[in-house]
Amino acid sequence: MTTATAVAHPNIALVKYWGKADAHLALPATGSVSMGLDVFPTTTTVTLTDAPADTLVLNGAAVDDGPLVRVTEFLDLVRELAGSRVRADVVSENTVPTGAGLASSASGFAALATAAAAAYGLDLSERDLSRLARRGSGSATRSIPGGVSVWHAGDDAGSFAETVPAPPMAMVVVTIDAGPKPIGSREAMRRTIATSPFYPAWVTSTTETVTDMLTACAAGDFTRIGELTESNALRMHATIEGAFPPIRYLTARSVAVFDAVAELRAAGLRAYATADAGPNVVVLTTPEDRAAVATALAGHGDVIESGTGPGARLVRSEGPEAPAPGVDRPEETAE
């Protein structure tokens, strides 16, 4: 029996990914930049089996619909790379509020990619693991490296994520609604590309913002990072709202948090708001100000503080083919 367990954390984009250039290869239309969190880890174990089909247990419950189909499609890619036809049992404990726009798919597919690669005996570099995770969920690409990372747009070989230099930062997650979002990001991206007249401008401006963000990160300019983060989030939501029929993820309560964050800034705290494909708001702040920001926003929802998180890692592997946890990965291997 070959089994491997991996842990990965979610990430929150400072410059968002919204739209694919190639749906099959999951190549993004633009680059994106994110900060990995040190809260809400996903722990996933992949165990090879003689059974005729893959199985999935998510947070203790057997799953036999949509998520299992996505996991099986993903494992098919891993099997193709490994030259294997063996099926797997996947057990995943996800502490992110699933489907709430907090990128549960990022930690989920980053942990699955890391565990599955080890279980099937693939010894992939960080770059190739990130390319593999990309095929499960775009944002998972950025949960393979730790810290602040950039996910490059490009072709299959060039579209991976890597850590970039950045100043110390923190986030405060304000969970307004932990229920599933009304429309998933895949479908919403498709509709935005097909119908939002703002989409071409989103691609042009976000490409510029990625460059500006990397410059601000390298310079340690927190104010500029924050301004670009809040602006890019609102541009993404405006682009999505331009779809037909329209899609609106932000609720009145989300907007109230953006207003509250502006008031905190006026009062001298360092805080900027962002939001993904859901109503919840994440506030980018500094390690010094995170506690004060969390206290100030407590009335708006369930508030959780996070520092900058580690990359995905293998925590256990057993069996003839699996590499030991912590072994050095070679710089690059062909996928």
Contact positions vs ligand PMV (CB under 6 A): 13, 16-18, 32, 103, 105-106, 137-139, 185-186, 276-277
Cβ nearer to ligand PMV, comparing 123 with 156: 156
Q: Write down the least CB distance from residue 333 to ligand PMV, Å.
A: 24
Name which of 47 and 143 has its Cβ closer to ligand PMV.
Answer: 143
| AA identity, residue 108 | G
Closer to ligand PMV by Cβ: residue 3 or 308: 308
| Nearest distance from C-beta of residue 147 to ligand PMV, angstroms | 16
- Whose Cβ is closer to ligand PMV: residue 36's or residue 121's? 36
Q: Cβ distance 21 to 129 under 8 Å?
A: no
Pick 2 or 229: Cβ nearer ligand PMV = 229
**N- to C-terminal Cα distance for the chain?**
24
Q: Which two tokens stand for residue 291?
A: 């506690």
Rounded Cα distance between 34 and 277, Å, is 15
Q: Least distance in Å: CB of 223 to ligand PMV?
A: 22
* Secondary structure E strands in the chain: 3-8, 11-15, 20-22, 27-28, 32-36, 42-49, 55-58, 61-63, 87-94, 148-151, 161-163, 170-175, 271-274, 281-285, 302-306, 313-318
Give me 227's structure tokens. Answer: 């301004």
Q: Which is nearer to ligand PMV, 105 or 196 (CB)?
A: 105
Q: How far is the CB of 139 from ligand PMV (least distance, A)?
A: 3
CB of 183 to ligand PMV, least distance (A): 12
Query: Smallest distance, Å, CB 48 to ligand PMV?
Result: 27
Token readout for 307 is 């520092």
Instruction: Give residues with Cβ within 8 angstroms of 246, minimum separation 6.
Output: none
